[in-house]
Structure 1
């Protein structure tokens, strides 16, 4: 039986943690999911709670809003 990805089609990565803020997979795990062995997929899914907590403790690491000076 195939193990479903935790991907929810958000695909936005936290710069500090390098984790997707939707599925909490790493930049390497996301594109490699289809080729991953089932035991590795289980590991990724089992780490989701820990990774989610890590991302929620950190700022998003996204670029700051641009500031516009009045001319």
Structure 2
């Protein structure tokens, strides 16, 4: 295999083969990238919601404990 690739011109190795790979596997690559980006977005939304919940609970607990001091 290495001998076959070594005999090819540079433009076949560095241009034609990657273009063919993108055409063949482009849909798969796009789906994987879309899935990863969607997953990262969902993780970001989850972290923001949990952080907001913790903030609200702490704010509520501190305000209720200050009222009980009276």
The normalised TM-score by structure 1 is: 0.35
Q: Which has the higher helix share?
A: 2
Greater C-alpha radius of gyration: 2
Higher relative contact order (CA 8 A, sep 6+): 1
